[in-house]
Amino acid sequence: MKADNKHYRFINSETGNTLYYYALDGILDEGQIKAELDKIKAQVAIQNSLYVDIIYWEEMREDAFA
């Protein structure tokens, strides 16, 4: 994993299953990151026929890969 990229996963809160992985450029500011993640969250909900409110995202930390 590159240090300048941030990796996220989108999770179904009802099942705990990871639905989608996504990476963003680390140079984006917080507002841009949140806007992009909200857009991807809506796309994941549509693709999986789920309500957008039951999907959440979390950043995947580098230490989680060790």
**H or E stretch including 19?**
strand 18-25
> Residues 30-51: pLDDT tens digits?
899 999 999 999 999 999 999 9
If pLDDT is split at 50, 70 and 90, which confidence band does 61 have? confident
Euclidean distance between CA atoms 3 and 17, whole angstroms:
26
Tokens standing for residue 58: 């979390």
The rounded distance, in Å, linking the Cα atoms of 52 and 35 is 14
Angle at 14 between CA 8 and CA 17, to 5 degrees: 45
